[in-house]
């Protein structure tokens, strides 16, 4: 009779590693808690949505954002690790931009938070470069054949952010009213902002 062992889950392994590092005084739990709290409350797609809403309502800001994404994003107070050099590209009816990191999962954390699991998946990373239209369709975004798709590969040197098209039906909305409409997926280019 063989004894079957169960493997610990990733959460259990993470907890065991944290406990070991804490016991050996290599990590301060307060520092870890601070990082977790920051990424739960201060960093994330809401920040990116605020950047987009400002660009949609302030033409001068939009110009600065497209000229120097890092500086324009910092104007709103969003900066930090993984956000040292962000390039912003704009979606139009003729051109649709989508972001990937083919090597790992480079991602603009200050404006998008931590990357979703599908962004880190090897299948997404490989396929979106070779067959972007098919991958986007599988993710629920069916673009017209007349729309060119440009794939941007993030790296440790540059991270990309998509400025999605503003739906025409939102013309009368304020900046604050626009923020909840903008999703993380639209900021990566795998979705559009719903009207």
Q: Catalytic residue among 101, 146, 155, 156, which?
A: 101
Does the annotation count 101 as an active-site position?
yes
Cβ count within 10 A of residue 104: 12
> Is 154 labeled as catalytic in the residue annotation?
no
How far apart are the C-alpha atoms of 49 and 156, rounded to whole Å? Answer: 23
Contacts of 115 (CB under 8 A, 6+ apart): 105, 107
* 156 in catalytic set: no
Which whole-number Å values give the CA distances from 119 to 27, 57, 77, in the listed order?
29, 29, 25
Sole residue written with tokens 């969003």: 78
Assess whether 146 carries a catalytic annotation.
Answer: no
Token pair 């601070």 in the structure block, residue: 34
Helix, strand, or coil (residue 183): coil
What stretch of H or E contains 62? helix 59-67
CA-nearest of 128, 140, 145, 191 to 165 is 191
Q: What amino acid positions are annotated as catalytic residues? A: 101, 104-106
């Amino acid at each position: 009779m063989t004894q079957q062992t169960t493997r610990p889950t990733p959460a259990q392994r993470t907890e065991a590693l944290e406990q070991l590092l804490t016991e050996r005084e290599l990590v301060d739990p307060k520092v870890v808690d601070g990082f977790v709290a920051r990424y739960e409350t201060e960093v994330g797609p809401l920040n990116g949505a605020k950047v987009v809403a400002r660009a949609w309502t302030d033409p001068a800001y939009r110009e600065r954002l497209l000229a120097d994404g890092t500086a324009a994003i910092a104007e709103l107070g969003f900066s930090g690790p993984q956000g040292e050099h962000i390039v912003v590209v704009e979606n139009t009816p003729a051109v649709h931009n989508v972001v990937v990191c083919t090597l790992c999962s480079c991602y603009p954390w200050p404006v998008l938070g931590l990357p979703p699991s599908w962004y880190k998946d090897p299948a997404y990373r490989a396929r979106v470069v070779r067959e972007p239209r098919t991958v986007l369709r599988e993710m629920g975004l069916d673009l017209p054949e007349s729309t060119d798709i440009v794939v941007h590969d993030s790296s440790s040197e540059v991270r990309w952010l998509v400025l999605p098209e503003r739906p025409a039906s939102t013309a009368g909305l304020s900046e604050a009213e626009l923020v909840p409409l903008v999703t993380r997926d639209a900021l990566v280019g795998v979705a559009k902002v719903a009207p």
